[in-house]
Amino acid sequence: MVLDSKIPDGPLAEKWTKHKFNLKLVNPSNKRKYDIIVVGTGLAGASAAASFGELGYNVKAFFYQDSARRAHSIAAQGGINAAKNYTNDGDSIFRLFYDTIKGGDYRSREANVYRLAEVSNNIIDQCVAQGVPFARDYGGLLDNRSFGGAQVSRTFYARGQTGQQLLLGAYSTLSRQVASGKVKLFPRTEMLDLVLIDGKARGIITRNMITGKVESHSAHAVVLATGGYGNVFFLSTNAMGCNGSAVWRAHKKGAIFSNPCFTQIHPTCIPVHGDQQSKLTLMSESLRNDGRVWVPKTVEIAEKLRKGGIKPKDITEEDRDYYLERIYPAFGNLVPRDVASRNAKNVCDEGRGVGETGLAVFLDFRDSIKRDGVDVIKAKYGNLFQMYEKIVAENPYETPMMIYPAVHYTMGGLWVDYNLQTTIPGLYASGECNFSDHGANRLGASALMQGLADGYFVLPYTIGDYLSEMPYDKIPEDHPEFKKAEDIVNQRIEKLFSINGTKTVDEFHKELGLIMWEKCGMSRNEKRLKEAKEEIKKLREEYWKNVKVLGVNEELNMTLEKALRVADFMELAELMVDDAAIRNESCGGHFREESQTPEGEAKRDDENFTFVSAWEFQGEGKPEKMHKEELKFENVKLTQRSYK
């Protein structure tokens, strides 16, 4: 297996322009002869599907929600980065590129990241033209705020609902294409397998979630835009339905999976309250613009606080440890997410955590309210404060918020080349489900940017290059390969019903999540990873002997949906553990205890690990084979990341 990233030659800043010119085109009147399947209608999927429709391709868009507008991009709060430099503070495409490479701890591809920074400005223009109501100042021009890992203000936002507004923008353009007849929507439909014919991706097998019907859909190319797999951990900030099945099925059909262990643990989530919880809620990183993170200076004070003997406001300035400001004076509360999360874990491990469980730190707005007044803070974060109050029943204007890290985003995903094509010809991956742009850690406000960059400005060019070489002939949906794949899916469904065991799907999922959080979470070591691998194997075996799936296939059956997803999570989890085990260095969100500086900071090992891991499926029950894509840095110098 040779991994050809197809990065164009030439200077970094000219690569994309040159490449676009070199890509082959499909004549406008021939585009209608090609069908494209898009799975997922978040930012990456909806923008791609709409853009393909505008170009004239026939598009089929699939999603598990009841409406394309509900994909989980909608929940992104803080903002979207772009190198507009409207604030005159020294931003540029190169700086956005540099920050993203550095933020990702030098484990992403220079060329892809530069292109992302390059098209970031077009995204803002496009969204404004669609009617996205970004925040503006009194002169009527666009406003910016700051996010972690950057020393410029480059984040565009729409209150605390930026993801919602961008997705509704993409959804509206998608709706326009539906009206024009170029896009056909398939709501409440889940992809359960990928179909290859003559080595090329030629369609998918889906299950209609209302009727249970397993169906085949044929096309000339397939785009996966199915998001991340953070729900492996059971508790995460992902939506309940987010899953890794589409990418995992593609992986088992030959698509290489890269960096599966790179998981982002977001520092500002509402802490876990008990074992009845099924979902974690994120509080936007933008809060760290004005909130100060602290814990009590000593274990004794923290204990008193946890028992309710004292209130946060009783703790004097001298007894507070604003640990991020203390350790990282240059970036302070705006260090990247991985750094903020790990430090929160450290102070809690020392026994200085707050809240009933001791697994929380304060995010305090007292000083900014004093400085700017309640009204200014309310205007910036009103909806986030309201959300916090509804969940925790405490008023964050008066008492500090409590936060704790939670699984949020997965940087790993399907390996793609510069054209966003996977190792299966005709299969593309865009947005969170590919591995390409964020390295070992994603910076805040960059996920929205990547989703829309891929969908609006990359795929519409690169997919034409592939299609131009494809014959127009359509493969009928009763082709033997489709029938074979349908049979396998049907057998899997029947098998799940037939087990009729004693444990519910959720019980298995919770157990899996706990193993992953404890042993492949914020801090990892060889011994615990080995244990995790064995435990996951055992759990998976038990699953196929003892899971209980009720109801029938032929109607809405949410237990079955979940059972299929959890079955795939169980396999994906093992690959995440394998990947974490081979990467004996600390980088970005991946912290190996064996690789740290004397001060306990992450220590990267560039000599041995400047590569993207690329896992190849070898067959059921066989260990996967790891390939490497070596990373070359020609435009930035690798330095130990320091935010001090």
Angle at 614 between CA 610 and CA 615, to 5 degrees: 140
DSSP 62-90: E-SSSSGGGSGGGG--S-EE----TT-SS
Binders of another protein among residues 346 to 375 (CB under 8 A) are: 356
- The two beta strands, 200-208 and 214-218, are antiparallel
Place of tokens 């997965």: 410
Q: Give the amino acid at 491.
A: Q
Window of 452-460, 522-530, 568-576, 600-608 that interacts with another protein by CB under 8 A: 452-460
Window of 161-169, 243-251, 310-318, 609-617 that interacts with another protein by CB under 8 A: 161-169
Query: Is residue 159 involved in binding another protein (CB under 8 A)?
Result: yes
Query: Is residue 1 involved in binding another protein (CB under 8 A)?
Result: no
Cα 279 to Cα 229: distance, rounded to the nearest angstrom: 14
Give the pair of three-digit tokens for residue 556: 């809405």
* CB distance 468 to 443 below 8 Å: no
Cross-strand pairs, 363 = 293, 401
Minimum distance of another protein from residue 265's CB (angstroms): 18
Instruction: Rank residues 21 and 138 by Cβ distance to another protein and give the closer one.
Output: 138
Determine which one of 154, 207, 337, 583 is catalytic: 337
The length of the chain is: 644
Q: Which of 330, 374, 550, 582 binds another protein (CB under 8 A)?
A: 550
- Residues in CB range of 322: below 8 A, 6 or more apart: 292, 293, 294
Binders of another protein among residues 557 to 616 (CB under 8 A) are: 558-559
Cα 338 to Cα 268: distance, rounded to the nearest angstrom: 11
Instruction: Rank residues 248 and 457 by Cβ distance to another protein and give the closer one.
Output: 457
Instruction: Rank residues 6 and 273 by Cβ distance to another protein and give the closer one.
Output: 273
Query: Is residue 430 involved in binding another protein (CB under 8 A)?
Result: no
Query: Can you give 25-64 as a three-state secondary structure string?
Result: CCCHHHHHHCEEEEECCCHHHHHHHHHHHHHCCEEEEECC
Query: Is residue 25 involved in binding another protein (CB under 8 A)?
Result: no
Cα 502 to Cα 300: distance, rounded to the nearest angstrom: 45
Window of 169-177, 189-197, 415-423, 616-624 that interacts with another protein by CB under 8 A: 169-177
Secondary structure letter of residue 178 according to DSSP: H
Q: Is 337 assigned a catalytic role?
A: yes
Instruction: Rank residues 34 and 262 by Cβ distance to another protein and give the closer one.
Output: 34
Query: Can you give 251-306 as a three-state secondary structure string?
Result: HHCCCCEECCCCEEEEEEECCCCCCCCCCCCECCHHHHHCCEEEEECCHHHHHHHH
Q: Which of 15, 31, 33, 69 binds another protein (CB under 8 A)?
A: 69
**Which of 436, 445, 475 minimizes the C-alpha distance to 91?**
445
- Residues in CB range of 121: below 8 A, 6 or more apart: 82, 83, 84, 93
Query: Is residue 427 involved in binding another protein (CB under 8 A)?
Result: no
Query: Is residue 47 involved in binding another protein (CB under 8 A)?
Result: yes
Binders of another protein among residues 466 to 525 (CB under 8 A) are: 504, 506-507
Place of tokens 């951990």: 233
Query: Is residue 42 involved in binding another protein (CB under 8 A)?
Result: no
Query: Is residue 2 involved in binding another protein (CB under 8 A)?
Result: no
Query: Is residue 72 involved in binding another protein (CB under 8 A)?
Result: yes
Give the pair of three-digit tokens for residue 38: 């898009």
Minimum distance of another protein from residue 133's CB (angstroms): 4
Window of 70-78, 435-443, 511-519, 576-584 that interacts with another protein by CB under 8 A: 70-78
Query: Is residue 309 involved in binding another protein (CB under 8 A)?
Result: no
Query: Is residue 638 involved in binding another protein (CB under 8 A)?
Result: no
Minimum distance of another protein from residue 164's CB (angstroms): 6
Binders of another protein among residues 201 to 240 (CB under 8 A) are: 210, 237, 239-240
DSSP 492-549: HHHHHHHH--SEEHHHHHHHHHHHHHHHSSSSB-HHHHHHHHHHHHHHHHHHHHHEE-
Query: Is residue 185 involved in binding another protein (CB under 8 A)?
Result: yes
Q: Which of 13, 129, 330, 488 binds another protein (CB under 8 A)?
A: 129
Secondary structure letter of residue 163 according to DSSP: H
Instruction: Rank residues 485 and 549 by Cβ distance to another protein and give the closer one.
Output: 549
Helices 15-22 + 110-130 axis angle, to 10: 80
Q: Which of 12, 68, 232, 587 binds another protein (CB under 8 A)?
A: 68
* CB distance 383 to 159 below 8 Å: yes
Query: Is residue 547 involved in binding another protein (CB under 8 A)?
Result: no
Q: Which of 11, 28, 90, 274 binds another protein (CB under 8 A)?
A: 274
Q: Which of 87, 172, 490, 584 binds another protein (CB under 8 A)?
A: 172
Cα 405 to Cα 174: distance, rounded to the nearest angstrom: 35
Minimum distance of another protein from residue 236's CB (angstroms): 11
Window of 24-32, 118-126, 485-493, 574-582 that interacts with another protein by CB under 8 A: 118-126
Minimum distance of another protein from residue 642's CB (angstroms): 34
Q: Which of 171, 331, 409, 415 binds another protein (CB under 8 A)?
A: 171
* CB distance 46 to 454 below 8 Å: no
Minimum distance of another protein from residue 29's CB (angstroms): 17
* CB distance 183 to 51 below 8 Å: no
387 to 406: interface string for another protein, x by CB under 8 A: x--xx-x-------------
Query: Is residue 176 involved in binding another protein (CB under 8 A)?
Result: yes
Residue count, binding to another protein (CB under 8 A)? 83
Query: Is residue 11 involved in binding another protein (CB under 8 A)?
Result: no
- The two beta strands, 35-39 and 58-62, are parallel
Instruction: Rank residues 260 and 271 by Cβ distance to another protein and give the closer one.
Output: 271
Minimum distance of another protein from residue 55's CB (angstroms): 9
Would you name the residues annotated as active-site residues?
337
